[in-house]
Amino acid sequence: MSEKTLAPSQLDQRDASWYVDKLVQILMFVGGISAIIFIIGIFVFITKEGIAFLFEGFSFTEFFGSINWRPTSSNPTYGALALIVGTASVTGVAMLVAIPFSLGAAIYISEFATGRTKETLKVLVELLAAIPSVVWGFIGLSIMNEFIIEVFDVPIGLNVLNAGIILGLMAAPIMTTIAEDALKAVPDRFREAAEAMGATRWQIIRQVIMPAAKNGLVSAVLLGVGRGFGETMAVLMASGHAINIPTSPFDSVRALTATIAAELGETAQGSEHYGALFALGIFLFIITFIINLAADLVVRGIRKK
Amino acid sequence: MVAAETRTKVLEVNDLSISYGPKTAMSGLSLDVYENEIFGIIGPANSGKTSFLRAINRMDAFDSQMNVNGSLRFMGTEVSAWRNDYALRRQIGVVFPLPVGLPMSIYDNVAFAAKLRGVKGKAALDEVVERCLTRAALWDEVKDRLDSLGSQLSGGQQQRLTIARALSQEPTLLMLDEFSIAVDPVTTMRIEDVLKELKKEMTILLVTNLVQQAERLADRTALFLNGSLIEIGYTDALFEGQTQDQRTKDYLEGRFG
Ligand SMILES: Nc1ncnc2c1ncn2[C@@H]1O[C@H](COP(=O)(O)OP(=O)(O)OP(=O)(O)O)[C@@H](O)[C@H]1O
Ligand SMILES: [Mg+2]
């Protein structure tokens, strides 16, 4: 056989790069699958711990309709309404704070800042996102508490307003990052075309860029909401942790997450109280799952366009 | 060149130079463009044609790299002296080489500039949209789907949408930068016919890579080469061989390089 004409069997050899490729594929698969397995595992665990309660002590109307969360009374009741409203009201205030801050910052970074300023700001925002939540809780407990008492002349400063502001400041950096990504993804030729027509900066942002980035901006907000529902430590420290349906921002409330964190250590494993806390956990899991799913579907919407 | 010009000068350019950082893209450019003419600019890549257009509508304001020196008057006023550069740009329609359908409906794409200029009311906007789309030879193809996204049209349709949008500014000066790159020959011819009509109402600056397009459309033509003006002349005369610079003759005859 001449050297130049190779038989098909000689051409078709598995070489090192073929094996490396297969190996990487397998590793990626294992990595991806294990993430999914962990999530399913967590859900199964929470459900398993809460399931007995859901079938025995659980009353749908009590859980969602009563504000009496009295797990330790001699005749215990498990009404989660006040906790749900507490979490929702804190998250609501947080979004009022975080949406203007994060959108404003994202627009500034993406559309106005250039060069050094832009890079510095991006790094700063990422640093802010890395501040541990207990530090934010501490700021709420000490600085914000006194500030609210001083400024609004109210007896306690640990309330919906305090927790909402703290949570809003916490959520803003990650929302800024996502919103900025969405704005950055709008191609420059759209900006140039609108500039050439004589649109002002603000007209371009309002009428061209924000509509084009709408889905990304919405998903930034939804992720912020998800963060608000799930945050525990800062809310525990800043909200006052009192079971209460708030009628003003100066009322203390208690959050779902904070309740679980504060009480789980004191309950006997397998007790009714223990099961009830896991029922709260299942509820939270479902809510955050829905919010994240919504955010994901919205983001998918962008890609389709 | 020619005996006393009495027409209004839309553009008066004197010793204009343009640079990006240390790199010079255009130097020593002097020329006048008169009202209601189609002024063609031809020249190979990198000759500074696009840079010249960008200088006219002050796009240097958005590009910290870009530097413009010398005198560039639009309607008698230095463009750098316009106190409202947005108002300047609203007077000048630009069509870029590659189509840019803005990510909004076809209707809004065309109504956008009209709204910027202060046109209000659905009836008035409807009228602008229909007139401009018709002129850009696009109306028949899109009149039944004005609400769908402009960015979802075909490339050639988007380019005509861009032209319609530029027309909706009712510009004094319309600048087209190699507008037919993404348009089929038949549509190109239709748009060329429209341009001949439009020159009754406005001045057109036509940058083109197609020498024949300049021949068909331009009243006068300028050749740019490597950031300098080589020659300006009446298009007919240039194509009949009455060139002053051998390079112009070579370029027009496609013997260049
Ligand atoms: N935004 C920019 N930043 C930096 N340099 C630029 C920019 N735009 C153009 N240049 C430079 O200016 C020179 C002239 O470019 P210009 O786009 O004006 O050429 P042109 O004649 O339009 O070419 P073409 O026919 O390829 O469009 C080129 O060397 C280019 O690299
Ligand atoms: Mg060009």
pLDDT tens, position by position, A139-168: 999 999 999 999 999 999 999 999 999 999
CATH number at residue B19: 3.40.50.300
Each residue of A68-111: pLDDT tens digit? Answer: 999 888 888 899 999 999 999 999 999 999 999 999 999 999 99
Q: How many residues are listed for chain A in this entry?
A: 305
Instruction: Look at residue A296 and tell me whether its pLDDT is greater than 90.
Output: no
Instruction: Look at residue A292 and tell me whether its pLDDT is greater than 90.
Output: no
* B25 Cβ below 6 A of ligand 1: yes
What are residue B69's phi and psi, to 5 degrees? -130, 160
* B90 Cβ below 6 A of ligand 1: no
Residue A176 sits in the same domain as residue A30: no
Of B103, B92, B96, the closest CA to residue B56 belongs to B92
**Residues A14, A18, A19, CA angle at the centre, nearest 5°?**
95
What are residue B95's phi and psi, to 5 degrees? -120, 120
Task: Flag whether B185 is in a domain.
Answer: no
Task: Flag whether B131 is in a domain.
Answer: no
Which residues of chain B fall short of a pLDDT of 70? 1-5, 256-257
Residues, beta carbon < 5 Å, ion ligand 2: B 50
Question: Which of A197, A200, A208 is the best residue to mutate to test the B interface, defined by the most B CB atoms within 10 Å of its own CB?
Answer: A197
Residue A109 sits in the same domain as residue A207: yes
**Are A198 and B90 in contact (CB < 8 Å)?**
yes
Residue A137 sits in the same domain as residue A265: yes
Task: Flag whether B103 is in a domain.
Answer: no
The b/e string for A7-42 (b: 16+ C-beta within 10 A; e otherwise) is: eeeeeeeeeeeeeeeeeeeeeeeeeeeeeeeeeeee
Task: Flag whether B161 is in a domain.
Answer: no
Task: Give the nearest partner residue to A195 out of B62, B64, B117, using CB atoms.
Answer: B62
Confidence of residue A47 (pLDDT cuts 50, 70, 90): confident
pLDDT at A288: 86
Of A40-44, A170-174, A298-302, B44-48, the least confident: A298-302
Instruction: Look at residue A262 and tell me whether its pLDDT is greater than 80.
Output: yes
pLDDT at A297: 84
Task: Give the nearest partner residue to A197 out of B64, B103, B116, using CB atoms.
Answer: B116
Task: Flag whether A72 is in a domain.
Answer: no
Instruction: Look at residue A304 and tell me whether its pLDDT is greater than 80.
Output: no
Query: Under a CB-based contact definition with an 8 Å cutoff, are residues B29 and B231 in contact?
Result: no
Residue A95 sits in the same domain as residue A217: yes
Both tokens of B35, joined, read 């009202």
**pLDDT average, residue stretch A173-201:** 92
Contact list in A for residue B96 (CB cut-off 8 A) is: 189, 192-193, 196
Residue A297 sits in the same domain as residue A173: yes
Query: What's the rounded Cα separation, in Å, for the pair B217 and B219?
Result: 7
Instruction: Look at residue A196 and tell me whether its pLDDT is greater than 60.
Output: yes
Task: Flag whether B63 is in a domain.
Answer: yes
Residue A184 sits in the same domain as residue A265: yes
Residue A37 sits in the same domain as residue A120: no
pLDDT at A289: 87
Task: Flag whether A68 is in a domain.
Answer: no
Task: Flag whether B245 is in a domain.
Answer: yes
Instruction: Look at residue A2 and tell me whether its pLDDT is greater than 70.
Output: no
Query: Under a CB-based contact definition with an 8 Å cutoff, are residues A225 and A183 in contact?
Result: no
Task: Flag whether B150 is in a domain.
Answer: no
Percentage of chain A beyond pLDDT 70 is: 97
Task: Give the nearest partner residue to A211 out of B103, B165, B166, using CB atoms.
Answer: B103
Task: Flag whether A294 is in a domain.
Answer: yes
pLDDT at B3: 55
Q: How many residues are listed for chain B in this entry?
A: 257
Its domain, for residue B52, covers 1-90+209-257
Instruction: Look at residue A137 and tell me whether its pLDDT is greater than 80.
Output: yes
Confidence of residue A302 (pLDDT cuts 50, 70, 90): low
Residue A113 sits in the same domain as residue A44: no
Q: Where does residue A31 fall: left (phi above 0), alpha (psi -120 to 50 degrees), or beta otherwise?
A: alpha
Its domain, for residue A243, covers 81-304
Task: Flag whether A118 is in a domain.
Answer: yes
Task: Give the nearest partner residue to B104 out of A192, A197, A211, using CB atoms.
Answer: A211
Ligand 2 centre distance from Cα of residue B43 (Å): 10
What are residue B222's phi and psi, to 5 degrees? -120, 140
The ipTM is 0.85
Judged by CB atoms within 8 Å, which residues 184-203 of A form the interface with B?
Answer: 186, 189-190, 192-200, 203
Ligand 2 centre distance from Cα of residue B67 (Å): 17
**pLDDT average, residue stretch A240-261:** 92
Residue A94 sits in the same domain as residue A47: no
Structural domain tally of chain B?
1
Contact list in B for residue A198 (CB cut-off 8 A) is: 86-91, 113, 116-117, 169
Task: Flag whether A19 is in a domain.
Answer: yes
Structural domain tally of chain A?
2
Ligand 2 centre distance from Cα of residue B97 (Å): 7
Instruction: Look at residue A9 and tell me whether its pLDDT is greater than 80.
Output: no
Instruction: Look at residue A295 and tell me whether its pLDDT is greater than 90.
Output: no
Task: Flag whether B243 is in a domain.
Answer: yes
Q: Coil, strand or helix: which one is B220?
A: strand
pLDDT at B2: 53
Residue A287 sits in the same domain as residue A177: yes
Given CB atoms, is A212 within the 8 Å cutoff of chain B? yes
**pLDDT average, residue stretch A178-182:** 93
Given CB atoms, is B21 within the 8 Å cutoff of chain A? no
Residue A39 sits in the same domain as residue A187: no
Which residues lie below 8 Å from residue B16, measured CB to CB, with a gap of 6+? B26, B28, B29, B30, B52, B55, B68, B69, B70, B71, B72
CA distance A291 to chain B (A): 27
Judged by CB atoms within 8 Å, which residues 59-78 of B form the interface with A?
Answer: 59, 62, 64
